[in-house]
Each structure stands twice: as structure tokens, then as C-alpha cells.
Amino acid sequence: MNKPAITTIAFLTLIATARADAPSLKEGFWSVHQVTIDNPGNKVTDAHYSICRNHAYDHHIESAAKNPACTFTTDTMQGDKHITAGTCKIRDTTITTKSTSTYLGDTAVHVENDSTYAPAFIGHTQETMVMDFKYVGACPAGIQPGDRVASDGSVLHLWKQ
């Protein structure tokens, strides 16, 4: 399993938990700007992509995020902020993550995520990820919920209904 896969598992596990009091987001096409800083080395990755999502896809992610290898120490809504913290054990690596998702109505979410890896995974010990999600409109023709569209137009199918 590579580092992006482990990061994705930890990230989804700690921020995608279902909360009855979280705002419902619009279904459709969302643009994503993601900046990741990996340490040691302060390596910055700046990515732009889009994702088509609906409530069924969200439920799929929430279900997938219920990983028995993870425990939460914090999972609360404070106004428009969903705050989570916890630990996941993925193979031999313990990932400790703190995340704050700020909902800006039903059309935008700002996420700040900080994770540490012990022992280091592929030489990485710490990662900071900042993501901004913005609703664009209906998903384009041929793009289904769970499809991630890279900035070069390539499509990655993350889910099949």
C-alpha cells in the first residue's frame, strides 16, 4: 500500500464520519483545491481536481470510513465546524490525525488536516493537508457520482453504484 492510499484512508476515516447535525451538501460536481505538505523536507504538492458526488456516494464513503482499526478521541460539531481527532493503525503504521472541516453553507467546505506517522512511512513523519471544496453545478455528461476528474481531464472511477 502506498503513502497516498494510507493518507486517503486516514483522511476519509477521520473527516467523513456521518453526523446528523452536519449540513447536507448539494449533490453534483465539486471542484477541489488540495495543498499537501509532507515532512521531513517540507515537500509541497498543489493539486486541482473535481469530483462528482451525491448522497449515495457520501454514504458509501461514510460506510468505508468506519474502519475498526481507528479510534476517535474527538468528533464534534461546533457551529459550522466539524472537528475530529483520532488514530488509525494501518499495517505497521500508526496515523494520528486532527481535522477541522468548516462548512460554508451547502456549497463549500474548507478542510484543514494534520497527520503524523509512527514509525515514518516511506520516509514521511508528518503531513498537513488543506482542501477547499466548491460546488460547481450538475455533473458533466458521462461523469457519474464517485468519478474524480484530474486537471488534465483524465477520469478515475472511485465508486460504482
SS3 161: coil
- Reported pTM: 0.86
Of 64, 81, 72, 68, the closest CA to residue 16 belongs to 64
Contact indicator for 149, 50 with CB cutoff of 8 Å: yes
pLDDT value at residue 4: 54
pLDDT for residue 24: 83
- Among 91, 79, 99, 121, residue whose Cα is nearest residue 11: 99
pLDDT at 104: 92
Are the CB atoms for 97 and 115 separated by under 8 Å?
Answer: yes
Say what the pLDDT of residue 9 is: 46
pLDDT tens track, the chain, 161 positions: 555 544 554 445 444 544 556 778 899 999 999 999 999 999 999 999 999 998 888 777 777 667 777 888 888 889 999 888 888 887 888 989 898 989 999 999 999 999 999 999 888 899 999 999 999 999 999 999 989 999 999 998 888 87
